[in-house]
Amino acid sequence: MHQNPNHSKLSVLPKRIIIMRHGESKGNLDYSAYGTTPDHQIPLTDVGLAQAQDAGARLRHLISSNSSTNSWRVYFYVSPYARTRSTLRELGRSFTKKRIIGVREECRVREQDFGNFQVEERMRAIKRTREKFGRFFYRFPEGESAADVFDRVSSFLESLWRDIDMKRLHHDPSHDLNLIIISHGLTARVFLMKWFKWTVEQFERLNNLGNCEFRVIELGNGGEYSLAIHHTEEEMQEWGLDKDMIADQKWRINAHRGEWNENCPWYLDAFFDHLDDSDDNEDSDDESPSDSSSICA
């Protein structure tokens, strides 16, 4: 039997990276809570606690029923906010200590900063301005823009890959590793944008995650990650992915790591009116443009 040359490399990669929004918070139920309670201290409601427990059961079932080995493990990253910490505590009831190889509080996946105490009427006016200006680049007074969140999420992803490459997660390669990130709605969308190299225009069309809703980014056969392994086309449409984005997710299922998807319009076509396939006067034995300048992996 010939061994897949990529097997040893793929075995050290996480099987899944799951990005999840917290359960229902008191701020979701009553926006005026932000005017008297700091955002990072907003707690979950009773419904939010129940949502988190249910999400834990669903996550365990997803992982245990779709793993190549019974020796699967989970590693958690969690925003430092009270509502995300509580969500993790409740969903953690579905996992034994044997299954959890680590947990880390990660400030870079916290909620977008909207300022300090948020006066309801003022915030309504500010959010109307944001709709006119654009969700991604609008910076809240005393707070952040989604572009600012993008920068810190990018930094987090760099650290995440260093942790994996340097084996800081103490992961046994024979175990399926599942990274679960408990975060917030906008931060989760920015995470997906950064991961899949979506454009600002594509980000603007994405719908928010519901409370305790999650997206499963799963490792494909060739080493690329895809949403389309676990999720259906109908689900991705509901999230705001267009047909080209969905086609790219399907392509990724069997794509080899670092491969170039020539049919992906936002890799090249979205930035140019027209590109010739080759120079008119190039030598017949010239090589095509190097992939190293265009790979979107």
Any idea which residues carry the catalytic annotation?
Answer: 22, 111
* Whether 173 contacts 7, CB under 8 Å: no
Tell which residue, 262, 284, 285, has the closest CA to residue 275.
262
Distances (CA, A) of 239 to 58, 169, 219, 236: 20, 31, 20, 5
What is d(CA 80, CA 273) in angstroms, rounded to the nearest whole number? Answer: 45
3-class state of residue 242 by DSSP: coil
DSSP readout, 36-102?
TS-GGGPPB-HHHHHHHHHHHHHHHHHHHHS-SSS--EEEEEE-SSHHHHHHHHHHGGGS-TTTEEE
* Whether 219 contacts 251, CB under 8 Å: no
Count Cβ neighbours within 10 Å for each residue of 147-175 and write b for 16 or more, e otherwise. bbbbebbeebeeebeebbeeeebebeeeb
DSSP readout, 183-218?
E-HHHHHHHHHHHHT--HHHHHTPPPPPTT-EEEEE
Helix and strand totals (H; E) in the chain = 10, 6
Residue with tokens 């809240």: 140
Supply angle C-alpha 207, 211, 217, rounded to 5: 65
What is d(CA 57, CA 197) in angstroms, rounded to the nearest whole number? Answer: 31
